[in-house]
């Protein structure tokens, strides 16, 4: 994984480290377990959907080379998160891995041949993910919060809890709505929030791109949920859907944001 960025861990707090895979993708690893979140390891958006949405950053690792996955968390069914060119190949290479996601994601995985025993519906309650790590799914507004007739979410984010109670939030794709803020604040004190900063705007919407938080919203959102650190993501992959590091730094300084902006290398909790 030579091209991946590494977020180094403080060993006295947690045994999990994080690799950034681009877009909203991450790899979490400990000495014994490895978890992937929304890995987009192809150029399928260009190939299958929009020819001018060309991948701007190298693929950090080929999906068929990943043999260490224990769990794969998918936030929603859009192909830059639930990738038909990544997930079936990853599932074949990591035959021990099971997959967590909302119902539309699980339906896609079934279509791609994954057996039922490897699929798990994302739950809005604390469950043990692997030793030393708990998982809770939360709503994602993409562009609004949607539930099916059973009350199950169509799009989710994931909150992970370490052994000593620290919380990390992986948002996937979401805008800011009060329900999400209230849900997260009800879970506890956050150390780190991994937030998308590809803002929703007219020009993106006109070409069918569903944006997320703006950079300004991400900092204000992090303050609302009490996150000590923020990792801005979902801005690096496509030219039409980007933000700029200078923009992130400028807005942080102008807002006098109290949270620390993580860059590589940095700590998860």
124 Cβ neighbours under 8 A, 6+ residues apart: 136, 137, 138, 153
Mean pLDDT of the region 195-200: 97
Q: How confident is the model at residue 17 (pLDDT cuts 50, 70, 90)?
A: confident
State what percent of residues in the chain have pLDDT above 90: 87
pLDDT score of 8 more than 60: no
Q: What are the Cα distances from residue 131, in Å, to 50, 98, 145, 232?
A: 40, 15, 31, 27
160-197 confidence digits (pLDDT tens): 999 889 999 999 999 999 999 999 999 998 999 999 99
Q: How confident is the model at residue 7 (pLDDT cuts 50, 70, 90)?
A: very low
Rounded-to-5 percentages of helix, strand, coil across the chain: 25, 25, 50
Residue 225's pLDDT is 97
Q: How confident is the model at residue 269 (pLDDT cuts 50, 70, 90)?
A: low
* Range among 72-76, 129-133, 164-168, 258-262 with highest mean pLDDT value: 72-76
- Containing 120, the helix (H) or strand (E) segment is strand 119-121
pLDDT score of 257 more than 60: yes
Mean pLDDT of the region 239-257: 96
31-82 confidence digits (pLDDT tens): 899 999 999 999 999 999 999 999 999 999 999 999 999 999 999 999 999 9
Mean pLDDT of the region 116-140: 96
C-alpha span between 149 and 154 (Å, rounded): 11
Query: Which residue, chain included where needed, has tokens 């990544």?
Result: 86
Residue 264's pLDDT is 65
Q: What is the pTM of this model?
A: 0.93
pLDDT score of 3 more than 60: no
C-alpha span between 100 and 31 (Å, rounded): 22
Q: How confident is the model at residue 5 (pLDDT cuts 50, 70, 90)?
A: very low
């Amino acid at each position: 994984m030579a091209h991946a960025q590494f977020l180094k861990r403080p060993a006295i707090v947690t045994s999990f480290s994080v690799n950034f895979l681009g877009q909203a993708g991450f790899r979490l690893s400990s000495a014994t377990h490895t978890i992937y979140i929304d890995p987009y390891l192809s150029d399928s958006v260009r190939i299958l959907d929009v020819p001018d949405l060309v991948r701007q950053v190298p693929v950090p690792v080929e999906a068929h080379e990943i043999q260490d996955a224990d769990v794969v968390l998918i936030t929603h069914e859009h192909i830059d998160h639930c990738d038909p060119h990544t997930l079936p190949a990853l599932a074949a290479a990591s035959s021990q891995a099971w997959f967590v996601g909302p119902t539309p994601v699980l339906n896609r995985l079934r279509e791609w041949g994954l057996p039922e025993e490897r699929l798990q519906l994302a739950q809005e309650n604390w469950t043990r993910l692997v030793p030393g790590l708990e998982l809770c799914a939360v709503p994602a507004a993409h562009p609004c919060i949607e539930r099916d007739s059973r009350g199950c979410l169509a799009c989710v984010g994931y909150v992970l809890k370490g052994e000593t109670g620290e919380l990390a939030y992986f948002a996937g794709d979401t805008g800011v709505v009060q329900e999400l803020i209230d849900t997260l604040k009800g879970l506890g004190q956050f150390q780190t929030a991994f937030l998308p900063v590809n803002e929703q705007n007219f020009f993106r919407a006109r070409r069918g791109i569903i944006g997320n938080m703006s950079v300004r919203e991400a900092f204000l959102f992090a303050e609302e949920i009490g996150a000590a650190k923020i990792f801005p993501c979902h801005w690096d992959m496509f030219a039409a859907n980007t933000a700029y590091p200078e923009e992130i730094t400028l807005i942080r300084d102008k807002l006098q944001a109290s949270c620390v902006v993580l860059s590589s290398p940095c700590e998860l909790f």
